[in-house]
Chain A
Amino acid sequence: NAGVTQTPKFQVLKTGQSMTLQCAQDMNHNSMYWYRQDPGMGLRLIYYSASEGTTDKGEVPNGYNVSRLNKREFSLRLESAAPSQTSVYFCASTRDGQPQHFGDGTRLSIL
């Protein structure tokens, strides 16, 4: 009963490096989301995918790209990492009317 699985759990990057955060869910959910959590800011939506084949920007999309590879997987890519992207990243999924289920998070540090 894995739920939402995020990889990696921790990562350190240098400014300018690229990286893809992976997310997979096994609950047959239609919708998937990427959030970032910064101290004192709560969680903010980066991108979401309402269904397979669609993606849309959230509140803070700049510097990120996403891919909804299939119904299970939703990846987040940083093309050229910046220190301002140091954060904890959460992936979530849901289906209509249900609460979002969250992964355990990826702690990303950019030097």
Chain B
Amino acid sequence: AQKVTQAQTEISVVEKEDVTLDCVYETRDTTYYLFWYKQPPSGELVFLIRRNSFDEQNEISGRYSWNFQKSTSSFNFTITASQVVDSAVYFCALSEAEGSQGNLIFGKGTKLSVKP
């Protein structure tokens, strides 16, 4: 069965610190997608990144970076020089390959608080 584990329930950092959010997944599929979504205090879900299982290259987008390692079934998310606006709940999610129903299996989320 598919499963996503975000072991960190809450993290609190001071502005400008770097922070890494962990995500470990389980799947028997050889082809799958991994996602990160952000949920700010306003409640909407904001898509951040999608990665397919054949692309293990790390990705950087501004202060955000993602480290995908199939060997450890992990897809970790790092925020460099955190800002107060990064305070949110972050969800990691997994779905089956393209062409399927695309159902997302979510982790329980990590609440990040960035203090000034």
Residues of A within 8 A of B (CB): 31, 33, 35, 40-45, 48, 50, 56, 58, 88, 90, 92, 94, 96-97, 99-102, 104-105
How distant is the Cα of A44 from the Cα of B99 in the complex, in angstroms?
A: 21
Docked CA distance A105–B89 (Å): 15
| A residues less than 8 Å from B106 (CB atoms) | 35, 42-44
Is there an interface contact between A90 and B104, defined as CB atoms closer than 8 Å? no
Q: How many residues of B contact A (CB 8 A)?
A: 19
Q: Residue among A35, A40, A99 with the most chain B CB within 10 A?
A: A99
* A-side interface mostly: strand
Do A102 and B101 touch (CB < 8 A)? no
Q: Does the CB pair A100–B108 fall under 8 Å?
A: no
Q: Is the CB of B108 within 8 A of A41?
A: yes
Expressed in whole angstroms, the Cα–Cα distance for A43 and B106 within the complex equals 6
Tell whether, in the assembled complex, residue A40 and residue B108 are in contact, meaning their CB atoms are under 8 Å apart. yes
B43 touches A43 (CB 8 A): no
Q: Is the CB of A50 within 8 A of B47?
A: no
Given A88-B43, A90-B45, A99-B50, check contact A42 B108 (CB 8 Å). Answer: yes
Complexed CA–CA distance, A42 and B90 (Å) = 10
A56 to B37, CA, bound (A): 24
A48 partner residues in chain B, CB cutoff 8 A: 101, 103
CB-based contact A97/B98 at 8 Å: yes
Output the least CB separation between A83 and chain B (Å): 21
CB of A102 within 8 A of CB of B109, answer: no
CB distance from A101 to the nearest CB of B (A): 7
What is the distance, in angstroms, from A66's C-beta to the closest C-beta of chain B? Answer: 14
